[in-house]
Structure 1
Amino acid sequence: MNTVPKVAVVILNWNGLHHLQKFLPSVLASTYPNLQVVVGDNASTDGSVAFLKGRYANEVTVIENKENYGFTGGYNRVMAQVEADIYILLNSDVEVTPGWIEPVVQMMQADELIAAAAPKIKAYRKKDHFEHAGAAGGFIDKLGYPFCRGRLFYEVEEDKGQYDTSGEIFWASGAALFITGRHWKMSGGFDERFFAHMEEIDLCWRLKNMGYKVMYCAASTVYHVGGGTLNAEDPFKTYLNFRNNLFLLKKNLPAARAAWVISIRFGLDLIALLRFMGEGKRKDAWAVSRAHQNFVRKVFQRSPVAARQALGGQLPPNMKGLYKKSIVSQFFIKKKHRFSDLDPADLE
């Protein structure tokens, strides 16, 4: 009997043929002994499926979605057709390194409370620096602003080994997300209302509300290009980020706390809208307004994925990785631009 946990690397693709050609070989070169590589395709029109079936017919399982369901819907449909002890949700624009899977699996196997984990995520184009979307693990402040160890807002740090200690975090980046099959099914997967952006934070928050752990594994490194689907200048990305952050708060905070935090966020978002206007970014300003309108229309709509679920009993919520202060004030007013500048006593 094979006692090595089965791991499935699941890559969601949408018109990413160039990324698959460049980065899939590094995934297939992984040394983990019980590995399945799956590419789920969101109705690409660039020849991705033909390439995979022609070049990697014996090495890659291809699952085709009938249409582009976005990051959340696409993954939910693909993952329903894959069985594994541990899933790795991996962006198509990620280059992996030798031995990247083994230390994370070892960490997860050592503690049954660990539901999800993240490797160190560095920038593909600037490999001595962390990457914006994950870095050395995700955290969140008391007002719901996400940030990373190694990246606060637009300040991305050089990796000098300062975050080479593994430990608990609040959220793991969807660019390279390890999650056990049991916890994926228990949580219900991604909330498809998010479409893309912050869906992994919502998933991790739900798991933490159930009492489970999310970890950062410093012994594993991947390199992420970033911005492969929506670049930072796309107003649709602005819309998703502002709207989904409000969904995140409404779903995962207690009702009274959520109402208080969201009221503050509306005011701060208004400041952001005015800043966009002052910078001549009218489409981004309008995106913030549309985000608020959409949230208000759906504020009483029940989420298709429950905010808290349990299997075999309820554990107390685990808020490790919650920053007790405002990262906005710490960064913009007190000029603390590195994670190491923050007082560790202010982290749960």
Structure 2
Amino acid sequence: MTAVVVPVFNAPEETADCLAALRATLTGSHVNVIVIDDASDDPAVPELLNTLPEEWVRVRNRQNLGFVATANLGLALATRADVVLLNSDTRVTQGWLEAILDCAATDASIASVTPLTNHGEIASIPAFCRPNPWPEQPETWARACADSGPPLYPEVPTAVGFCMFLRRACIDQIGAFDELAFGRGYGEENDWCCRASAAGWRHVLCDTAFVAHRGGASFGPLGLKPGGRAMETLLARHPDYLDRVSAFIEADPLAERRARIVDRFQALDRQRDPQPAD
């Protein structure tokens, strides 16, 4: 059993796009969807949530708890299930969840899985570690990722929180996100991943899945503002964090595969919109 948890705060148009894509791509009864409104003050959000499928779990916080506490509530509501934590400014694509779960199933020691995206630092494509524009053709990118040869599933120092599979066995062992230290967000997934790594777990990229991400302003390495409190807390706990991230970026194990994915995307794009003959 897998649960998809979507924390929501305001941004009704982006949230509607996210939930519509989620609804269109989920098949079967093996997925439990939990949508948590963190006390949005935009009345359009609860109105939107009232239109969701009856089988989806809908929760509204009585007061704003912040992203991390809301995410932890979702992990708790998912009970025994593995969880995919999905930001409300994303758009999933056909086959995204199946690809992520297939990746997770390759090794029971995998604690987290992150798909490729346009805006996700070490998971970004086509430009690596840079925010790419919102894709006009996310489904074509998804097909390109799926059709570019056998997956590599490279190990990474941390997941990226826009879309993150978390294995329940790891949650049970090391606990949920630290909402006291990272209560308003930024850094909680990095800390969780470092704790999991210290306990012998692994984190990987799923290079056969693509999830579009709108994202916000860049916060430097893995969404953290240089010199910010979250980064200070993270480095105090895990002094080698930046060294491990830098080593992954320097090695760039997906460089050749990204190039193949881009080539495949361009080929699919030409098939979709062939150029007129001279």
TM-score range, shorter chain: 0.7 to 0.9
**Conservation of the 8 A alpha-carbon contact between 1:135 and 1:149:** no
Of 201, 214, 218 in structure 1, the residue corresponding to residue 203 of structure 2 is: 214
The residue aligned with 1:51 is 48
Of 10, 23, 30 in structure 2, the residue corresponding to residue 28 of structure 1 is: 23
What SS does the corresponding residue of 1:189 show, helix, strand or coil?
A: coil
- Aligned-pair RMSD on alpha carbons? 3.5
What SS does the corresponding residue of 1:173 show, helix, strand or coil?
A: coil
TM-score between the two structures when normalised by the length of structure 1: 0.59
- Size of the alignment, in residue pairs? 238
**Conservation of the 8 A alpha-carbon contact between 1:135 and 1:150:** no
Runs of 4+ in 1 over 4 A off after TM superposition: 154-164, 237-241, 336-341
Q: CA deviation at 1:150?
A: 4.5
**Conservation of the 8 A alpha-carbon contact between 1:87 and 1:178:** yes
Q: CA deviation at 1:151?
A: 3.1
CA distance in 2, matches of 1:83, 1:337: 36
The residue aligned with 1:205 is 194
Residues 197-241 of structure 1 show CA distances to partners (whole Å, capped at 9, x for unaligned) of: 1211111111111111101111111100112xxx459xxx98686
Q: Map residues 48-127 of structure 1 onto 2, 5 A cutoff.
A: 48-53=45-50, 55-122=51-118
Q: CA deviation at 1:149?
A: 9.5
Of 107, 122, 135 in structure 1, the residue corresponding to residue 123 of structure 2 is: 135
Q: CA deviation at 1:323?
A: 3.7
Go from structure 1 to structure 2 and tell me whether the alpha carbon gap of 1:89 and 1:35 turns closer, same or farther (over 3 Å shift). Answer: same
Go from structure 1 to structure 2 and tell me whether the alpha carbon gap of 1:52 and 1:206 turns closer, same or farther (over 3 Å shift). Answer: same
Q: CA deviation at 1:32?
A: 4.1
CA distance in 1, matches of 2:57, 2:15: 14
Go from structure 1 to structure 2 and tell me whether the alpha carbon gap of 1:103 and 1:84 turns closer, same or farther (over 3 Å shift). Answer: farther
Residues 57-102 of structure 1 show CA distances to partners (whole Å, capped at 9, x for unaligned) of: 5142112222222111221123222224320100111111111111
**Conservation of the 8 A alpha-carbon contact between 2:112 and 2:202:** yes
What SS does the corresponding residue of 2:203 show, helix, strand or coil?
A: strand
CA distance in 1, matches of 2:170, 2:102: 17
CA distance in 2, matches of 1:211, 1:117: 15
Go from structure 1 to structure 2 and tell me whether the alpha carbon gap of 1:78 and 1:121 turns closer, same or farther (over 3 Å shift). Answer: same
The residue aligned with 1:268 is none
TM-score between the two structures when normalised by the length of structure 2: 0.73
Q: Map residues 243-262 of structure 1 onto 2, 5 A cutoff.
A: 243-253=229-239
Q: Which has the higher contact order (CA 8 A, sep 6+)?
A: 2
The residue aligned with 1:167 is 154
Go from structure 1 to structure 2 and tell me whether the alpha carbon gap of 1:106 and 1:210 turns closer, same or farther (over 3 Å shift). Answer: same
**Conservation of the 8 A alpha-carbon contact between 1:7 and 1:85:** yes
Q: Percent of pairs identical after alignment?
A: 25
The residue aligned with 1:180 is 167
What is the one-letter code of the residue matched to 1:58? E
Q: CA deviation at 1:337?
A: 11
What is the one-letter code of the residue matched to 1:105? L
Unaligned runs of 5+ in 1: 1-5, 123-130, 137-147, 262-318, 331-335, 342-348
CA distance in 2, matches of 1:134, 1:223: 14
CA distance in 2, matches of 1:223, 1:84: 28
1:18 and 2:13 matched:
yes
CA distance in 2, matches of 1:240, 1:75: 24
Q: CA deviation at 1:186?
A: 2.2
Go from structure 1 to structure 2 and tell me whether the alpha carbon gap of 1:243 and 1:135 turns closer, same or farther (over 3 Å shift). Answer: same
What SS does the corresponding residue of 2:228 show, helix, strand or coil?
A: helix
Go from structure 1 to structure 2 and tell me whether the alpha carbon gap of 1:16 and 1:243 turns closer, same or farther (over 3 Å shift). Answer: same
Go from structure 1 to structure 2 and tell me whether the alpha carbon gap of 1:30 and 1:339 turns closer, same or farther (over 3 Å shift). Answer: closer
Go from structure 1 to structure 2 and tell me whether the alpha carbon gap of 1:212 and 1:232 turns closer, same or farther (over 3 Å shift). Answer: closer
